[in-house]
Amino acid sequence: MRKYILPPLVLATLVWFAWYLIQMRPQPQPLEIKRESPYVEVIVAEKKYLPANLRTHGVVRPRTLTTLIAEVPGIIEGVAPFTEQDLAPSFRAGGFFRKNDLLVKIEEVDLLSNVAEAEANLRRSQLQLIQEQELAEQAKSEWGDRDWTQASELVRRIPQIRKAEAETHAARAFVAQAKKNLSRAEVLAPFDGRIIRTMVDRGQRVGGGTSAALAEVYSLDSAEIDLSLSQREIDFLGFVDGSNSELSKIKVETLNREGKPTHFGF
């Protein structure tokens, strides 16, 4: 009998003991969680145009690069500097000059001779014209009371007068050309610039079968820089098919090897 009663009793005791332990366990205290809102700073977005800096490199090249030539043949009498002033132009590689500075002087002997000869020819032509006009007046006087308009042009010396007038005009043009060539004996600087290299020096003959080139020079008023840009940078700058719109201006700051600014421009 005990064999049948003892197992259920033990099981019931265990169940009761488990229930007792559950009931007697300490109750957890509720934990209050404080939720703090994050700090947020709010600003109003405004559309602004800000500069974008692109670093690149390139080679500065003068926009105006030319060869200085002698417009008249002759022997070089002298080259700059012609004075001992500190700011005098110099006809040497690396020399600076200002517009209309005298750089090269060519001997004027032959050019002065050409001017004198041209002026002499002009005087002869003018004398010939006066003589023809006087002969025409004499022929008209000898024509007497007859209708002078009925005389031939040859009798009235019209062709002779026209020829003398044409020769006078031509002689006057030769005088102007000779004087112009005389002024070209002084080779003046065409702009503010600098000399890259010279081809001649004092005592050398130029033109007249020899080279008329004097020096290679460039202007200081403007320069061009070929910059290396990636396709992304080109698109960012607003270039379309290699050209920038007229409204777009790019500010350029050039630096020397020490990183110091040397020029600002667009």
Tell whether 6 is covered by a domain.
no
Q: What is the pLDDT of residues 55-102, one digit of tens each?
A: 787 788 888 999 999 999 999 999 998 887 767 788 999 999 999 999
Using alpha carbons, select from 72, 101, 73, 104 the residue that is nearest to residue 88. Answer: 101
Tell whether 42 is covered by a domain.
no
Tell whether 49 is covered by a domain.
no
Dump the DSSP string for 121-187: HHHHHHHHHHHHHHHHHHHHHHHTTS-GGGS-TTTTTHHHHHHHHHHHHHHHHHHHHHHHHHHTTEE
Beta bridge partners of 206: 74
Domain extent, residue 152, equals: 110-183
Same domain, 257 and 137: no
Of 183, 199, 219, the residue that ends a domain is 183
Same domain, 86 and 66: yes
Tell whether 39 is covered by a domain.
no
- How many domains is the chain partitioned into structurally? 2
Residue-level pLDDT at 247: 45
Of 183, 201, 221, the residue that ends a domain is 183
Same domain, 122 and 248: no
Tell whether 53 is covered by a domain.
no
Residue-level pLDDT at 132: 92
Residue-level pLDDT at 51: 72
Same domain, 120 and 246: no
Residue ranges in the chain whose pLDDT is less than 70: 1-6, 10, 21, 86, 239-257, 259-266
Residues 6+ apart with CB under 8 A from 133: 161
Of 163, 183, 203, the residue that ends a domain is 183
Tell whether 9 is covered by a domain.
no
Same domain, 131 and 226: no
CATH number, residue 83: 2.40.50.100
Same domain, 149 and 129: yes
Q: At what angle do helices 109-143 and 158-183 cross, to 10 degrees?
A: 160
Same domain, 88 and 195: yes
Same domain, 152 and 258: no
Q: Global pTM?
A: 0.65
Same domain, 258 and 137: no
Residue-level pLDDT at 253: 67
Using alpha carbons, select from 159, 167, 166 the residue that is nearest to residue 139. Answer: 159
Q: Give every strand in the sheet of 205-206, ordered side by side.
A: 186-188, 102-106, 74-79, 205-206
CA–CA–CA angle 42, 44, 48 (5° rounding): 135
Residue-level pLDDT at 55: 79
Tell whether 5 is covered by a domain.
no
Same domain, 215 and 237: yes
Same domain, 179 and 199: no
Using alpha carbons, select from 123, 125, 132, 124 the residue that is nearest to residue 158. Answer: 132
The tokens for 260 are: 């110091």
Tell whether 173 is covered by a domain.
yes
Same domain, 164 and 223: no
